[in-house]
């Protein structure tokens, strides 16, 4: 079965900007089937709408399925994993500029119901390979979130990049080799 990777953008993001086109091309050159999803209404995101889109796009889920997420795309995939049936398992998740709390934005309230609590045990029952990539100068998501989310809750490998800001579409990050390397390592 062919390994599939889904690229998940964040709030106000796009599948064809920033480092995602480069990563898609590199992964395809390495034999992966890659879909860079265009999540609905990225400027006014709603969790259920995004989850529905991901469910429809992924189709049959298996352990050859991987996700590379950016910013709000990370909490979306964590909520996706929470929603899976008990027997479902994916191959891994690479989280770029990830966080697990609202960060104070009322626009993101639907992503953090019930005071934002996540069922970490359920999430880990569906995936046991996580990599966190953060930047030392991210103006929105401090390294504290990466350390907390990935070391405390998920036990992920933690990669700290220098001077990559938020890895956003306007941050002039057109390549992200650490994300490529993380997927290649996960799939060995």
Which residues form the catalytic set? 71, 138, 166
Euclidean distance between CA atoms 90 and 93, whole angstroms: 8
Euclidean distance between CA atoms 142 and 99, whole angstroms: 9
Euclidean distance between CA atoms 70 and 7, whole angstroms: 8
Q: Measure Cα distances from 98 to 56, 60, 63, 101, 154 in Å.
A: 23, 25, 22, 10, 12
Which residue, among 187, 161, 185, 188, has the nearest Cα to 175 in the 3D structure? 161
Q: Which 8-state DSSP code applies to residue 171?
A: T
Euclidean distance between CA atoms 8 and 69, whole angstroms: 5
Euclidean distance between CA atoms 130 and 68, whole angstroms: 10
Q: Where are the alpha helices (H) located in 5-164, listed in sequence order?
A: 20-29, 47-58, 72-83, 120-126, 143-146
């Amino acid at each position: 079965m062919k390994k599939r990777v889904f690229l998940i953008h964040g709030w106000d993001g796009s599948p064809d900007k920033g480092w995602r086109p480069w990563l898609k091309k590199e992964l395809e050159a390495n034999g992966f089937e890659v879909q860079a999803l265009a999540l609905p209404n990225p400027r006014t995101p709603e969790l259920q709408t995004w989850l529905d889109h991901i469910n429809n796009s992924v189709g049959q889920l298996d352990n050859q399925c991987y996700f590379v997420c950016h910013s709000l795309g990370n909490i979306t995939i964590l909520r996706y994993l929470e929603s899976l049936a008990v027997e479902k398992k994916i191959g891994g998740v690479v989280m770029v500029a990830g966080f697990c709390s609202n960060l104070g934005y009322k626009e993101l309230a639907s992503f953090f119901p019930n005071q934002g609590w996540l069922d970490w045990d359920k999430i880990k029952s569906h995936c046991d390979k996580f990599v966190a990539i953060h930047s030392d100068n991210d103006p929105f998501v401090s390294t504290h979130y990466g350390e907390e989310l990935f070391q405390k809750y998920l036990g992920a490998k933690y990669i700290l990049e220098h001077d990559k800001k938020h890895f956003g579409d306007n941050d002039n990050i057109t390549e992200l080799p650490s994300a490529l390397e993380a997927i290649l390592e996960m799939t060995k």
